[in-house]
Structure 1
Amino acid sequence: MILAVNKMDLVDFDEATYHRIVAEATAHAGALPAPVVLNPLPISALLGDNVVDASTNMPWFKGLPLLDLLETIEVPGDHNVGARLAVQWVIRPYSTEHHDYRGFAGRLTGGSLAIGDLIRVLPGGQQSTVIGIDRGGVPQDTAQPGEAISIQLADDIDIGRGDVLVAAVASEAPIVTDRIIADISWMVDKPLETGSRWIIKHQTRTAKAFVSAIELRHDVATATHSPAESLGLNDLGRVHLNVSVPLVIDNYDRHRPGGAAVLIDEATGMTCAALMIRDSE
């Protein structure tokens, strides 16, 4: 995350003031439920200092101006945990030409995949070998993270939407569980309470979720947390959920697609919360 300390012209481009603000922001960011690494720089948007070109008013700052920083900053990607493909659609053409075609379509994350790779089907646990990869209807030998693909397997396995195909040999295996612990951002007026029921949408799986516990509420202003019985609009907290079916999860910090989810109101269909999954119970 970039921290642009603006209006430096109002403090005569004072270096000490800049470092004091950066220290306060860094301490606050480090106390968040998911600590954030800051990339700070001083700017004056009014005068253009350190926006496009390096500032002559702040020679003590040796970093890049904002535009250069935006163009060159390295955004951390998902750790190479091993290939994961959450099945979005099972492709069965039912035509004479492709009478035996059965492809499992989705977006590849976590690592690359190649013909001949051994995969596991979760949550079931069956294993098979990749014998075909299609991207945009064109056969491929390999696929890279971020690509939308369809893969074919050597074995006839009952696989449907919501299942996850993962590399059998992976640096980090996902967790299959129906009990999760997650940091939550609550986004509606209706409070979240212990014992309430919701729909959870995780990757391509949709299931029912029961709030078994609210562990804490995080106070953004003071960067502290306290016990809570409920969460209100814009509250941040940590919750424990029981899910009606097993989910294939990852820690959000290690693999975001496998660690992100939302809660939906059963009655209205409104998205009520964003979840960052931390662990299983």
Structure 2
Amino acid sequence: MDLLTFATAGSVDDGKSTLIGRLLYDTKSIAEDQLDAVERTSRRLGLDETNLALLADGLRAEREQGITIDVAYRYLQGKRRKFIIADSPGHIQYTRNMVCAASLADVALVVVDARHGVTEQTRRHAFLLSLFGVRHIALVVNKMDIVGYARQAFEDIRDEGTAMLTELGVQGMAAIPISALRGDNMVAPSAHMPWYDGPVLFDHLENVHVADEPDSPARFPVQYVLRPRSDEFHDYRGYAGQVAGGVFRPGDDVVVLPSREYTKIVAIDGPTGPLTEAGVSRSVVFRFADNVDISRGDLVCHPDSAPAQVRELDATICWMTREPVRPGTRLLVKYATQCVPALLDQIDHRIDIRTFDHQAADVLELNDIARVRLRTTEPVMCDAFHDNRTTGGFVLIDPATDNTVAGGVVATTVGS
């Protein structure tokens, strides 16, 4: 079975957690003790029915407040796929949590309340999903039972949402009417909506074709240097990490950045022994023909496709802290396995989430999304995000507090 990670997004109270709970319940993916705990909590809260949303809202604060705060991860297995579910919060103050879910997702479900349609927060989340590389987005129109399962209500929202996603450049789109509370079109077709002839939600997730990532140059960020001290392995020197792009094989000529030292891969070790090749997301250990100077943060790649070493980055960021930021602020850029000091050189524009228009700005506030220029104190080896999600994505860190203050993606690299 292949593994699919999908995230939920949408406005507050649109039913994201209930949707996840219903999927888990209807596919019998819940342990009895979990279900018993949720039933007890529902009774304690004075509810007449079991609140399936509590299956996703794991934090005590979430259960007491009836909202999602953190990203809740759940696991589900179908007939064709295994799933990792990331239920992200809808409240605007937790946009940073939603960014974390979007950065890991292959597919996203943008949940819309059939009564309210596409809202500003719907647009915000859709923009973030497209920004962080989610290529397949399904518009899930929830609470159809409240609007009498009206076909026109669904089609109006479908048309508006499709236009929004098209404007954002999303190509893998779908629209599905459901009632998560009643189970309509979740795992089985609904008798209340005979006019809908598309797949139910679970079938869509089981069958959506997640195209392979575009061919990207070979990238291997070094995470750890292995030098065992035992007599048996006293000559062993390996470099551990996760392949971030392309394919590596024993015998490949490679270059190590930033030192620009050249060598050859003599062996690739996996968890169960030697490998004949290592592709994207494979965690491996490389052994080289020469004792080159390599440390954490270095990048191994093929000589004919090495990235430029640059000091300036054009990037789009989402500012995630209440402290505003202005040009001239010193930050740390953390990308792949490297962390370097940087300066927020300029703010090109802020993006109006309602219209996607560009606005002039000299300061960024909490949840602002903006195009900026970053200048680093030493050369960095990264790619544009549309070429590689791993080496083109980053977080910004406050060097005084070590707090993560922004997430971002590289649009272009400037200079060399």
Q: What is the TM-score normalised by the length of structure 2?
A: 0.62
Q: Whose helix fraction is larger, Structure 1's or Structure 2's?
A: 2
| Separation in 2, partners of 1:136, 1:240 | 41
> Measured at CA, do residues 102 and 202 of structure 1 come closer, stay the same or move farther in structure 2, by a change above 3 Å?
same
Give the counterpart of 2:160 among 24, 36, 60: 24
> Measured at CA, do residues 224 and 65 of structure 1 come closer, stay the same or move farther in structure 2, by a change above 3 Å?
same
Matches within 5 A, 1:201-280: 201-280=334-413
Task: Give yes or no for contact 1:174–1:250 (8 Å, CA) kept in 2.
Answer: yes
| Separation in 2, partners of 1:69, 1:35 | 17
Task: Give yes or no for contact 2:350–2:359 (8 Å, CA) kept in 1.
Answer: yes
| Separation in 1, partners of 2:321, 2:167 | 25
Q: What does the per-residue CA deviation read over 1:253-272, in whole Å, with 9 as the maximum and x for residues that have no partner? A: 22111111101111111111
Query: Residue 185 of structure 1: CA displacement?
Result: 0.8
The percentage of counterpart residues that share the same residue type is 37
Task: Give yes or no for contact 1:82–1:169 (8 Å, CA) kept in 2.
Answer: no
Pairwise CA RMSD? 2.1
Letter of the 1:22 counterpart: R
Give the counterpart of 1:113 among 233, 239, 248: 248
Q: Whose strand fraction is larger, Structure 1's or Structure 2's?
A: 1
Task: Give yes or no for contact 1:29–1:37 (8 Å, CA) kept in 2.
Answer: no
Q: What does the per-residue CA deviation read over 1:55-74, in whole Å, with 9 as the maximum and x for residues that have no partner? A: 23333322210111122223
> Measured at CA, do residues 175 and 4 of structure 1 come closer, stay the same or move farther in structure 2, by a change above 3 Å?
farther
Q: What does the per-residue CA deviation read over 1:200-247, in whole Å, with 9 as the maximum and x for residues that have no partner? A: 111111110101111111122232221111110011111110011222
Match of 1:84 in 2: 219
Pairing 1:5–2:169 present: no
Moved more, 22-31 or 188-197: 22-31
Task: Give yes or no for contact 1:88–1:104 (8 Å, CA) kept in 2.
Answer: yes
| Separation in 2, partners of 1:124, 1:134 | 24
Match of 1:59 in 2: 194
Match of 2:312 in 1: 179
User: Which runs of no fewer than 5 residues in structure 1 stay unpaired?
Assistant: none
| Separation in 1, partners of 2:343, 2:328 | 6
Match of 2:274 in 1: 139
Higher relative contact order (CA 8 A, sep 6+): 1
Query: Residue 169 of structure 1: CA displacement?
Result: 5.0
| Separation in 2, partners of 1:231, 1:247 | 25
| Separation in 2, partners of 1:125, 1:27 | 47
| Separation in 2, partners of 1:223, 1:16 | 27
Letter of the 2:263 counterpart: S
Structure 1 SS opposite 2:203? helix
| Separation in 2, partners of 1:156, 1:259 | 29
Which ranges of 4 or more aligned residues in structure 1 deviate by more than 6 Å?
A: none
> Measured at CA, do residues 76 and 188 of structure 1 come closer, stay the same or move farther in structure 2, by a change above 3 Å?
farther
Query: Residue 39 of structure 1: CA displacement?
Result: 2.2
| Separation in 2, partners of 1:31, 1:195 | 33
Moved more, 37-46 or 203-212: 37-46
Match of 1:156 in 2: 291
Structure 2 SS opposite 1:29? helix
| Separation in 1, partners of 2:224, 2:272 | 14
Task: Give yes or no for contact 2:383–2:413 (8 Å, CA) kept in 1.
Answer: no
Task: Give yes or no for contact 1:174–1:249 (8 Å, CA) kept in 2.
Answer: yes
Moved more, 94-103 or 150-159: 94-103
Moved more, 92-101 or 51-60: 92-101
Query: Residue 92 of structure 1: CA displacement?
Result: 1.9
Letter of the 2:251 counterpart: G
Pairing 1:68–2:220 present: no
